[in-house]
Structure 1
Amino acid sequence: MTSEQAEGELARLADILNRANIAYHRDDAPIMPDADFDALRLRNAQIEARFPDLVRPDSPAARVGAAPAAGFGKIQHARRMLSLANAFSNGDVEDFVDGIRRFLGLAADSPLAFTAEPKIDGLSLSLRYEKGALVYAATRGDGATGEDVTANARTIDDIPSTLRDGPDILEIRGEVYMTHQDFAALNSRQADAGGKVFANPRNAAAGSLRQLDASITRSRPLRFFAYSWGDVSEPLADTQMAAIARLAQLGFCTNPQTHLCQSVQDMIAVYSAIEAQRASLGYDIDGIVYKLNDLALQDRMGLRSTTPRWAIAHKFAAERAWTQLEAIEIQVGRTGALSPVARLVPVTVGGVVVSNATLHNEDYIMGRDSRGMVIRDGRDIRAGDWVEVYRAGDVIPKIRDVDPGRRPDTAVPYEFPQTCPECGSPALREPGDSVRRCTGGMVCPAQAVERLKHFVSRAAFDIEGLGAKQVESFWRDGWIATPKDIFTLKDRFGPGQPRQLKNREGWGEKSATNLFAAIDEKRTIPLGRFIFSLGIRHVGEATANMLASHYGTWEALRTALQDAKDPESAARLDLLSIDGVGGVLADSLISGFAAESDEIDALARALTITPAQARASDSPVAGKTLVFTGTLEKMTRAEAKARAESLGAKVAGSVSAKTDLLIAGPGAGSKARKAADLGVEVIDEDGWLAMIGAL
């Protein structure tokens, strides 16, 4: 895989996994099984490991869950609710344990215990108790902020309203789920009453907990397993196993399948034993979670941005099914990508009926991967083929394999279109890109509509009452063609105009007035949201916020991108110096602004774009760039880096003019000399520990 191919694949995976996260965590409508999601995350991680300079600011590895949905109050977690890193093989589990030993500087034969417990396939929930009373319950949301579902949680029998002799402050973390028996009974009642029939127990549990009417939740057979904790005023115990026992003493249901393991062999044995019992447990699980048993060692290990270092989920394999491919159709996306979609004879996979599947790109159809290597032994995919499907991929599942022995005589090789099926413009494939793209830009109706939908999406302008359906309807009737047109709707279709929104089918005076007010409210927008709203290729939400933070104001960014057209300019070098910005992203930004500069400038003039605000922090190293060199004697290098990053610092691998502080242990060499030449402050390990209050 070339660097360009890797960058394109990371962009594709970021888009796929972000949509899957939103579908699973926010919308309670998962588009793929966890095992397939994990496979895509693993591919993303493998590419990032091979090309560390291409790691995207919006990397799926940096995401937890999805933003909370509208309709519920928001609750900020006192301590973030994290996700788990994944293991897919026994070797991955061995690597996990070996990595912990290296991080802590432990010998290979030193004792190290772990807990092993089933990973429940439900909805994560945080319960906060103060002086023994339940104060609130919140979903995971995006990890930092969740939805307030307190009234609903109080209806679940497994969740105590008061605790017996607990700490003054205790946040319980666990999983809301539904048993197979209760799920079947619920679906039977729903069908008899003409109500919604759920696809699987996880959907049923999530949908039941996230009801605006708590009486509906009360009528649903929800259960709760407690397995962890967040904010706590005093330690629960010294070990994970003892802490789980303490939770049971406090009145919570804990999983009886939790085991203590003294070795990797013990951990694998528990995995195998529980996997064999999976069908008879009575509830859905998708793997086994291993956690370092010693809580003091957990604390030393610390956290990554989205996952703890001391825990991992050993996942089960995906479910698959065979069906017939009826046709291959092309969809055109926001950036002009021509995406082939397989229309299938409906088949049930993992409890969900599947009728569509992604085919990724023309190479995949022809039996090649993104590196040009042969896959499926070179077997191509044709309409009429029998294909193996598993639930993974973009918005739809994925085809894994094809059975040539069942191929009908009428099946012919698929010819990928060279022109856009929506507008007829040439569809070109750039060198190193696995995707063919329409060159029509905003002339292409598919691109125009998709970009308008993106403009009003939740992470962009998020205009109340103006969603994807309304945008598509307005565009179809010629009411809006570009984002700027949204902000002139009131002038053109408001009171006193020949055609008024209030007279449009599906609208009334109140809804029209509310929409105009919502649009006016969004005339002022933060810089990061504005950048993201433009829909420039490779610029996700995190990248947009990173650019906003770096440049501060719209005017500074606009000038910088104008000047950066010169490849030798200081502006381009400054753009490339931003952590996470590579050549492909820089070129996409520069060309994206240049191609539509008049439209973007006109939009910007109609708005008030507020500057990015620097995050305040009382950490002495927050926002600073640190470099560690030499031998550290009181903690491992990995532990020191983790501690620095947790305090808001950036840890670099080399000294430069941007370095704020060098921490030098015995044996420091060239880095210390370069720091002296550049006038960078240098301190020893004791000075570092004193600075962060760790002595």
Structure 2
Amino acid sequence: MTGVTASPEQEVASLREQLEQWNYQYHVLDDPSVPDAEYDRAMRRLVDLETQHPDLLRPDSPSQRVGAQPLAGFTQVRHELPMLSLDNAFNADELRDFNRRLLDRLKLEPDTDLEFACEPKLDGIAVSLLYRDGTLERAATRGDGSTGEDITHNVRTIQSVPLRLRGSGYPSLLEVRGEIYLPKAGFEDINARARERGEKTFVNPRNAAAGTLRQLDARLTAQRPLQMCSYSVGLFEGGELPARQSDILDCLHRWGLRINSESRVVKGFAACDAYYEELAARRDALPYDIDGIVYKVNELALQEQLGFVSRAPRWAIARKFPAQEEITRLLAVEFQVGRTGAITPVARLEPVFVGGVTVSNATLHNSDEIERLGVKVGDSVIVRRAGDVIPQVVSVVLEQRPEDAADVMFPDTCPVCGSAVEREPDEAVLRCMGGLVCGAQQKAALRHFVSRRAMDIDGLGDKLIEQLVDQQLIDNAAGLYRLQRDQLVGLERMGEKSADKLLQALEKSRHTTLERFIFALGIREVGEATARNLARHFGSWEALSAASEEKLLEVPDVGPVVADHLRQFFDDAGLMGVVEQLRAGGVHWPDVEVPEADALPLNGQTWVVTGSLEAMGRNDAKAHLQALGAKVAGSVSAKTHCVVAGPGAGSKLAKAGELGIEVIDEAAFIALLAQHGVNP
């Protein structure tokens, strides 16, 4: 390693290089080159030298993976590029349909064999690693896709996560995305030690990994053998990446990151299906849990051409393995009432272990589903965790039906408030007509109203909402803004500090936006996108609430059903009374300026946004363009008027150059927005 005459600086540098190499061979290549004792001796020597010479200590030193002081809590991280989820296929036919949709959208012949990058879908926790100039700066959970939690202190302890990238050629800013998981052997070892100590064991490796990443003390995290496997790149600046998904993974591997050794590039649906069958046969023998296979179109240019739908890319899909199933007994059927009054039957089951968890409840969806299943109380039923997430009853074992099996009887009145129930002719759902008189609907409506994407009132969890409604302190959202400190302090688990924080959060939420307010009201079928379109189209609450169905139908994404739900809401004196109470309680927002379409400066133009933007996210840039009248497209064509290109722009920028289309950078884009009175 080092000679006897080496200076402390030289010896420390040599030890770090050697330890990093050993780490890489052991945790990334699965090819250890020295005994553990040799590694431990080198690590002890490095720690000794850094202790004697604190000026030599660096944050990316191998010695700094463990030992940070516990955190007080987790901070939130906003993903500049959202971490999208994937659509699922549950059988070969659905995968074949996915392949057909790709070929149709790309205008290719039906027998064309697309190239796919395939890899096992690890059953772990999706994370984002941000490297700046090759050094790990931040790690975050996926969260809701837009906002996650900062878990840097825990991720630094994972040996397969390089604190500094290897080699050269990586972008100056690189966001690596992957899955953190717990190998089966590590999971068994953790549970064995827990049983020896008489402690509660983990249900499955995924739960254990999730719990480990949420430890405030990184020293506890370091005791568990978590692994990280990289599967894609998000944001990047100051460099170029290859044009194929598989080649990007090869780059990540060269830079010191672990990728799945089972990954493969195949051509065509038949090869995709064969890969699935091969992995399914070896699933139980793998050293980690997988719940399916992920297929991605390998060419990034084709990915960009295919684009996205909702919160998922069109160019990728996860084919899930068949969910695990078990037989248990249906003990009873109870009925839950949701935010819109929908009454949902819930199966109460004899507890059964399915798919890694103990299931005692399962959804029965609605009366049509119960009729289709032919299920009765007392039946033996097959329970499946659909998509490995939601338990559901999938069939009845008729030969085991007892003589006293009883029909499932739907209620004649609401099981919560006793109000009348109705079923519309074109719906399978039974609904309570009690509206805000119904305690269940009140609670569900309040949970939606305070949620992050609505009014974003921190500190109002389910338990607190239950207490507020049950103790009749509030009966609708407007009541939140009349709460007093002494009322809150008297509630269970609500001290003076918590009460003060909640009142501050309520005060902060009084200033919102029109689109958030519309979404928070929980009008049937009105999601975030529709609420945004309504706000931009009408500009004010007064104009929106006075709009006829004909006027509502002029709004993008508003069809007859949504228009009808909106008008029903606006025509309901009780609901509009709650809105007036909210406004009287100080909830306010600025009106949205709505110029005539013909007067919008970018009306009739098609723009494209590509690359990463520093002053704003790409979604914000698109929103500003749309507000100025532009149509924002996902691909460059001869009809494109202009391209806004940030760092990391790839094939779209090249395409614009080929077609001679104007390209501007972010600074010029901001200047353009300022000319039209938009301050990003």
TM-score category of the 2 structures, normalised to the smaller one: 0.7 to 0.9
What SS does the corresponding residue of 1:487 show, helix, strand or coil? helix
Task: Identify which of 454, 461, 465 aligns with 1:471.
Answer: 465
The answer to whether the aligner puts 1:512 opposite 2:499 as a matched pair is: yes
Partner of 1:443: 437
Q: 2:404 and 2:82 mapped to 1: Cα distance?
A: 56
Partner of 2:550: 573
What's the CA shift for 1:132?
A: 1.5
Q: 1:484 and 1:98 mapped to 2: Cα distance?
A: 50
CA, structure 1 residues 592+125, in 2 after alignment: closer, same or farther (shift >3 Å)?
A: same
Instruction: Select between 323-332 and 305-314 the one with higher mean Cα deviation.
Output: 305-314
Partner of 1:458: 452
Q: 1:254 and 1:660 mapped to 2: Cα distance?
A: 39
Deviations 1:175-194 (A, max 9, x none): 11111111122223334445
The answer to whether the aligner puts 1:418 opposite 2:412 as a matched pair is: yes
Which protein has greater RCO, CA pairs closer than 8 Å, 6+ apart?
1
Partner of 2:298: 293
What's the CA shift for 1:411?
A: 1.4
Task: Identify which of 608, 625, 630 aligns with 2:587.
Answer: 608
Partner of 1:400: 394
Instruction: Select between 102-111 and 352-361 the one with higher mean Cα deviation.
Output: 102-111
Partner of 1:555: 542
Q: Judge conservation of contact 1:120–1:284 (CA < 8 Å) in 2.
A: yes
CA, structure 1 residues 344+147, in 2 after alignment: closer, same or farther (shift >3 Å)?
A: same
Partner of 1:280: 285
Task: Identify which of 117, 120, 123 aligns with 1:121.
Answer: 123
Q: 1:311 and 1:284 mapped to 2: Cα distance?
A: 21
CA, structure 1 residues 292+335, in 2 after alignment: closer, same or farther (shift >3 Å)?
A: closer
What SS does the corresponding residue of 1:244 show, helix, strand or coil? helix
Q: How does 1:2-151 map to 2 (within 5 A)?
A: 71-104=73-106, 106=108, 112-151=114-153
Q: 2:507 and 2:180 mapped to 1: Cα distance?
A: 40
Structure 1 or 2, whichever has the larger Rg, is 2
Partner of 2:510: 523
Instruction: Select between 207-216 and 131-140 the one with higher mean Cα deviation.
Output: 207-216
Q: 1:178 and 1:592 mapped to 2: Cα distance?
A: 49
Task: Identify which of 163, 166, 170 aligns with 1:164.
Answer: 166
What's the CA shift for 1:308?
A: 3.5
Q: Judge conservation of contact 2:120–2:290 (CA < 8 Å) in 1.
A: yes
What's the CA shift for 1:431?
A: 1.6
Q: Judge conservation of contact 2:320–2:387 (CA < 8 Å) in 1.
A: no
CA, structure 1 residues 410+625, in 2 after alignment: closer, same or farther (shift >3 Å)?
A: farther
What SS does the corresponding residue of 1:220 show, helix, strand or coil? coil
Task: Identify which of 235, 259, 264 aligns with 2:264.
Answer: 259
Partner of 1:219: 223
Q: 2:243 and 2:480 mapped to 1: Cα distance?
A: 58
Aligned length: 553
What's the CA shift for 1:501?
A: 4.2
Q: 2:503 and 2:362 mapped to 1: Cα distance?
A: 39
Deviations 1:622-651 (A, max 9, x none): 9856799xxxxxxxxxxxxxxx99984999
Which stretches in structure 2 are left out of the alignment for 5+ residues? 1-71, 595-599, 608-617, 639-654, 665-680
CA, structure 1 residues 424+392, in 2 after alignment: closer, same or farther (shift >3 Å)?
A: same
Q: 2:441 and 2:256 mapped to 1: Cα distance?
A: 55
User: Match for 2:127: what amino acid?
Assistant: L
Partner of 2:207: 203
Q: 1:686 and 1:463 mapped to 2: Cα distance?
A: 44
Q: 1:181 and 1:528 mapped to 2: Cα distance?
A: 49
What's the CA shift for 1:505?
A: 5.1
Partner of 1:540: 527
User: Match for 1:450: what amino acid?
Assistant: A
- Give the CA RMSD over aligned residues: 3.7
What's the CA shift for 1:331?
A: 1.8
User: Match for 2:325: what amino acid?
Assistant: R
Q: 2:624 and 2:395 mapped to 1: Cα distance?
A: 44
Q: Judge conservation of contact 1:624–1:649 (CA < 8 Å) in 2.
A: no
What SS does the corresponding residue of 2:497 show, helix, strand or coil? helix
Deviations 1:534-592 (A, max 9, x none): 232223344333322332333332333xxx2xxxxxxx222112122122222222212
What SS does the corresponding residue of 1:433 show, helix, strand or coil? coil
What's the CA shift for 1:278?
A: 0.4
What's the CA shift for 1:354?
A: 0.6
Deviations 1:95-139 (A, max 9, x none): 544554554555567775333221112111121212221111122
CA, structure 1 residues 462+246, in 2 after alignment: closer, same or farther (shift >3 Å)?
A: closer
Q: Judge conservation of contact 1:625–1:650 (CA < 8 Å) in 2.
A: no
Q: 1:287 and 1:528 mapped to 2: Cα distance?
A: 38
Task: Identify which of 338, 348, 352 aligns with 1:347.
Answer: 352
Q: Judge conservation of contact 1:298–1:310 (CA < 8 Å) in 2.
A: yes
The answer to whether the aligner puts 1:582 opposite 2:559 as a matched pair is: yes
Deviations 1:43-83 (A, max 9, x none): xxxxxxxxxxxxxxxxxxxxxxxxxxx95323333433233
User: Match for 1:510: what amino acid?
Assistant: K
Q: 2:388 and 2:167 mapped to 1: Cα distance?
A: 48
What's the CA shift for 1:84?
A: 2.8
Instruction: Select between 276-285 and 102-111 the one with higher mean Cα deviation.
Output: 102-111
User: Match for 1:210: what amino acid?
Assistant: R
Deviations 1:508-559 (A, max 9, x none): 4333333333322222222223223323222334433332233233333233
Q: Judge conservation of contact 2:334–2:346 (CA < 8 Å) in 1.
A: yes
User: Match for 1:206: what amino acid?
Assistant: A
What's the CA shift for 1:262?
A: 3.6
CA, structure 1 residues 300+600, in 2 after alignment: closer, same or farther (shift >3 Å)?
A: closer
Q: 1:660 and 1:200 mapped to 2: Cα distance?
A: 47
What's the CA shift for 1:218?
A: 1.9
Task: Identify which of 150, 154, 157 aligns with 2:156.
Answer: 154
Q: 2:96 and 2:197 mapped to 1: Cα distance?
A: 51
Q: Judge conservation of contact 1:326–1:384 (CA < 8 Å) in 2.
A: yes
Q: Judge conservation of contact 2:443–2:469 (CA < 8 Å) in 1.
A: yes
User: Match for 1:478: what amino acid?
Assistant: Q
Q: Judge conservation of contact 2:114–2:268 (CA < 8 Å) in 1.
A: yes
Q: 1:80 and 1:422 mapped to 2: Cα distance?
A: 39
Q: Judge conservation of contact 1:625–1:649 (CA < 8 Å) in 2.
A: no
CA, structure 1 residues 394+576, in 2 after alignment: closer, same or farther (shift >3 Å)?
A: farther
User: Match for 2:543: what amino acid?
Assistant: A
Task: Identify which of 415, 430, 439 aligns with 2:424.
Answer: 430
Q: 2:106 and 2:288 mapped to 1: Cα distance?
A: 36
CA, structure 1 residues 523+207, in 2 after alignment: closer, same or farther (shift >3 Å)?
A: same
With the length of structure 1 as denominator, give the TM-score of the two structures: 0.71
Q: 2:437 and 2:307 mapped to 1: Cα distance?
A: 51
What's the CA shift for 1:659?
A: 9.7
Instruction: Select between 263-272 and 344-353 the one with higher mean Cα deviation.
Output: 263-272
Q: Judge conservation of contact 2:167–2:254 (CA < 8 Å) in 1.
A: no
Q: 2:416 and 2:354 mapped to 1: Cα distance?
A: 32
Q: Judge conservation of contact 1:88–1:314 (CA < 8 Å) in 2.
A: yes
User: Match for 2:517: what amino acid?
Assistant: F
User: Match for 1:411: what amino acid?
Assistant: A
What's the CA shift for 1:341?
A: 1.2
Q: 2:601 and 2:388 mapped to 1: Cα distance?
A: 37
CA, structure 1 residues 400+690, in 2 after alignment: closer, same or farther (shift >3 Å)?
A: same
Partner of 2:481: 487
CA, structure 1 residues 191+573, in 2 after alignment: closer, same or farther (shift >3 Å)?
A: farther
With the length of structure 2 as denominator, give the TM-score of the two structures: 0.73
Q: 1:175 and 1:225 mapped to 2: Cα distance?
A: 5
Q: Judge conservation of contact 1:625–1:651 (CA < 8 Å) in 2.
A: no
Deviations 1:583-634 (A, max 9, x none): 222222221232222232122221232136689xxxxx99856799xxxxxx
